[in-house]
Structure 1
Amino acid sequence: MTSNRGVAYKGPGEVEVVDLDYPTYELQDGPGVNPANVGRKLPHAAILKVVTTNICGSDQHMVRGRTTAPAGLILGHEITGEVVEVGPGVEFIQPGDLCSVPFNISCGRCVNCKTGRTEICLNVNPDRPGSAYGYVDMGGWVGGQAEYVLVPYADWNLLRFPDKDQALEKILDLTMLSDIFPTGFHGAVSAGVKPGSSVYIAGAGPVGLAAAVGAQLLGASVVIVADMQQERLDAARAFGCETVNVGEGDPREGIAKILGREEVDCGVDAVGFEAKGHGHGAKEAPATVLNSLMDITKAGGALGIPGLYVTGDPGGVDAAAQEGSLSLRLGLGWAKALSFTTGQCPVMRYHRQLMEAILHDRVQIAKAVNATPISLDDAPRGYAEFDSGVAKKFVIDPHNTTGLVAA
């Protein structure tokens, strides 16, 4: 039987590359697997040889010990791979197909999937609606930061690239289709970005930069990206964004210098629950971003919130934060008639269109987020560097399929 290795969460601040079982068409017991999912038969699944799998900021929350993720969990929900084997219930996907894997695991059969809400599928996670690979409280599906991974409901979930050779040439762009590009784009769409809009994006990590690219694709006139890390702000400026360093103070002043007014049409939270306050030496204050977005978004505007919020955070700054309760200025949001969109991005709503934009050279998302290929064995270093705030999106290439991994 073919061997397999993957990146395991060992405890706060520690990941390790470990040996693991080659995938089978049955969900096995393991860290984070809901007992109701153990032994689940998967004749509709495909086994993929992982071509690229990215380190995500959501992974980083777990690795910092800021969730209830169990030790031993195999990480990774951003997956692109080549199909090497299919189960007897797979009809259309074939071995040799190169595919993007939406991070949402969905069945394609429930009422939510049938209405396009694949992020809250009812049939794949006994804990609650919605599921993902290698993530806490998401049903226990094995993550894809590995050499091989199993994808259930393959005919439904997999996005097959039309030309394999062309796809391999653009693989660093296409690998972003599994999560951050659709997620950032969803943030911009749900914030109401239209041609001529002014947009404020809190957070210049990969999702924030993807939201900025998405806002530009939607026709925004001005895209303002805020962060505390100057290197990340420089990355945003490199593809035409305005920037505000909120480590220097309240964002209103920076917005006013750019627009001549202190409000924007649309706001996007690409930070999530580990947000810090504004100004020099700011400490963690998890409601800061949402409250500031309500303050600086015009009346009648909308907030897209792709940033992650959780129901359990052992490292929260207080008892309320530890259960995901934040001190929001909801009265302000109500008075301004603001709209809010939260939750996982329904990747399948966007990924085919964004694939076409990549294949036809409308966007260069890999360049925008500084995609940086590394080997599977180098994953612990990638996690450590990403945690330090570097302006990079680490792309793990377990088999050096890209030929871009440094020796």
Structure 2
Amino acid sequence: MKAVVFQGANEPLEIRDVDRPACEENGVVVETEACGICRSDWHAWQGDWDWIGLMPTPGLIFGHEPVGRVVEVGDGVERFSEGDLVTNPFNLSDGTCPHCREGRANICEKSVPMGFVPFQQGAFAEEYPVRNADQNLVTVPESVDPAEVAGLGCRFATAFHGIAHRVDVTPGDWVAVHGCGGVGLSAVHIASALGGNVIAVDVVPEKLELARELGAIETVDSERVDDVPQAVKGYTERSRGVDVSIDALGIAETIQNSINSLGKGGQHLQIGMTTSEEGGDVSVPVDTMVTDEREFYGSYGMPPNEYDEIFRMMDGGKIDPGKIVTETCALEEVPDVMDRLGEYDTMGIPVCTEF
């Protein structure tokens, strides 16, 4: 089968013929119908994240936002059959640790990141394997276009989990989203659907325009203002600051701007992961966070049990992840799209749909 294969940090990605994946006893093999092309793939390609123990090796197949049909089922799998339309979170869990048993499988003690380690290949390929299928697979409604939910494995799901389950967004709250890439636009759309008054922040006018289409009621072009936090606060009542602020980019400037946009008692949600420039460490205004009782939250993927919430909201017309999919491509074009991610030359979520 054909796959996009990693050759080393910053080395060209290659389209190669590789062996189809083996089916484990408790796993399945899925024929890929769509897979989102995520900035996390780009980070790994660049050699980022060694500070958290992520060091991809040559021969790896990226791709962790898949949708497809089951074509082979292990003898130990009970809940899924050949022909099922499925997706899965990128952080595959074992279902047995205390976090899994508490419904927080996204932070499983034995989590395996799909498409980032050689023993769990990703979905930039004609087929991909999923371990512990009964624990990790999620049935996708047949009424849903696979391309529309290809971002659920990472970007849309991470934003949804963070906004709906980590912080408290209630109708009428002011919510700032710093960075309007795929995950940021997802956050805009979700926060708006939950009743938040969303302020979107970015440097690209076209992304801010798309943010408005997805529900933002105000926007801030950070290249046109001297003080981003003050510009954000200016839209809130008595310039008191936002109730929830989200960093969806992962660079020091946007993280600090996000925290400094908060009002007293506000909540900062960190979704973006850092690059090699920050190396995982960013200074934050600790004393202000203490005296204002601001809170800092992280969001890492989403457990399988929360997918039904997204599908119900989609069915009810409250959210439409497909609006954030702005580009589709063939498998052979994935390396080019990945390259453009480094130039921030993509809008929304690009999805590979031809394998």
Residue 8 (structure 1) aligned to one of 6, 9, 21:
6
Q: Is the 8 A contact 1:105 1:152 kept in 2?
A: yes
Residue equivalent to 2:53: none
Cα distance in 2, alignment partners of residues 67 and 192 from structure 1? 29
Cα distance in 2, alignment partners of residues 184 and 49 from structure 1? 26
The farther-off stretch of 59-68 and 335-344 is: 59-68
> What stretches of structure 2 of length at least 5 have no aligned partner?
51-55
Residue 293 (structure 1) aligned to one of 222, 245, 258:
258
Q: Is the 8 A contact 1:174 1:358 kept in 2?
A: no
Aligned-partner SS, 1:243: strand
Cα distance in 2, alignment partners of residues 91 and 349 from structure 1? 17
Matched, 1:95 2:70: no
Residue equivalent to 2:223: 247
Matched, 1:131 2:87: no
Matched, 1:382 2:337: yes
| Structure-2-length-normalised TM-score | 0.90
Q: Number of residues paired by the alignment?
A: 345
C-alpha spacing 1:236/1:343, structure 2 compared with 1 (3 Å):
closer
Residue equivalent to 2:34: 52
Residue 79 of structure 1 and its aligned partner are, at CA, apart by: 0.9
Residue equivalent to 2:236: 259
Cα distance in 2, alignment partners of residues 9 and 340 from structure 1? 37
Residue equivalent to 2:307: 351
Residue equivalent to 1:22: 20
Matched, 1:223 2:221: no
Residue equivalent to 1:127: none
Aligned-partner SS, 2:293: coil
Residue equivalent to 1:185: 160
The farther-off stretch of 381-390 and 252-261 is: 252-261
Cα distance in 2, alignment partners of residues 377 and 336 from structure 1? 51
Residue 391 (structure 1) aligned to one of 344, 347, 351:
347
Matched, 1:77 2:32: no
The one-letter code of the counterpart of 2:173 is S
Report 1:283-322 matches (<5 A): 286=252, 288-309=253-274, 315-316=276-277, 321-322=278-279
Residue 348 of structure 1 and its aligned partner are, at CA, apart by: 2.1
Residue equivalent to 1:402: none
After superposition, the C-alpha distances for 1:174-227 in whole angstroms (9 at most, x for unaligned) are 22222222211223232321111100011100100101111012111x101111
| Structure-1-length-normalised TM-score | 0.79
Q: Is the 8 A contact 2:36 2:352 kept in 1?
A: yes
Cα distance in 2, alignment partners of residues 9 and 56 from structure 1? 18
The farther-off stretch of 358-367 and 146-155 is: 358-367
C-alpha spacing 1:225/1:383, structure 2 compared with 1 (3 Å):
same
C-alpha spacing 1:343/1:216, structure 2 compared with 1 (3 Å):
closer
The farther-off stretch of 351-360 and 110-119 is: 351-360
Residue 153 of structure 1 and its aligned partner are, at CA, apart by: 1.0
Residue equivalent to 2:295: 339
Percent of matched pairs sharing the same residue: 28
Report 1:99-110 matches (<5 A): 99-110=86-97
What value does the CA root-mean-square deviation take over the aligned residues? 2.0
Residue 44 of structure 1 and its aligned partner are, at CA, apart by: 0.5
